[in-house]
Amino acid sequence: MKPLLIFFVLLAGPTVLCACSKEVSVPIKEYQKLPDANTALFKEGWRPRETELKTADGELWRSVAMAGDLFKDGYRGVEICAGTGLSPCVFNYANEKGDCLRIITQGMYDKKAGDFPGVVSWSFKCPGKEFGGYQ
C-alpha cells in the first residue's frame, strides 16, 4: 500500500475510543506548530506513545521519509506521514492515567529551515492492534 492510502486507512480504520479519565487536559490549539504543541503536551503529562506499524516489507512506517526525520529528531510519537500533498502525519500520545491522544498534523518538516507541521485535529483514539499499535 502507498503511504497516503495507509494514512487514510489509519484515520478511518480500527481504533479504540478512549475510556478517558473524567478530566482530560489537552493544551494544544489548531494550527499550533508541532514543537510548541509537543512542549505543551509534555508539560501537561502527555508522553509520546510509539507504535509498531509496518510496511509490507516489514519496515516501520515511522522510519520512512518525513516520519523517519521526525522520529530521529525526537518526535517519538510519530506513527506515519503521507509523502505527498499536505504531508499529513499521525502522532500518538498517552498520559499516566492511560488516556490516549492522536494528533493529526499537516505541513512539511525541515528542521534546518524552521519549517514544522501544524496541528489540524486531535482525538482520544488509540490505534487498534490490527495496525501493530496499542490499545
User: What is the average per-residue pLDDT within 30-52?
Assistant: 96
Within-domain flag for 59: yes
Count of helices and strands (H, E) across the chain: 3, 7
8 A C-beta contact, residue 100 and residue 125: yes
Within-domain flag for 58: yes
Instruction: Indicate the average pLDDT of the chain.
Output: 84
Range of the domain at 89: 3-9+22-127
Confidence of residue 40 (pLDDT cuts 50, 70, 90): very high
Q: Which range is least confidently modeled, 34-38, 41-45, 72-76, 83-87?
A: 83-87
Within-domain flag for 134: no
Within-domain flag for 94: yes
Within-domain flag for 16: no
8 A C-beta contact, residue 88 and residue 70: no
Convert the pLDDT of each residue in 5-30 to its tens digit.
444 444 444 344 455 655 677 999 99
Structurally, how many domains does the chain consist of?
Answer: 1
Cα–Cα distance for residue pair 8/17, rounded to 1 Å: 17
- Comparison of pLDDT for 19 and 108, the residue scoring more: 108
Within-domain flag for 109: yes
Confidence of residue 128 (pLDDT cuts 50, 70, 90): low
User: In the chain, pLDDT over 90 holds for what percent of residues?
Assistant: 67
pLDDT of residue 105: 98
Element (H, E) at 12: helix 3-12
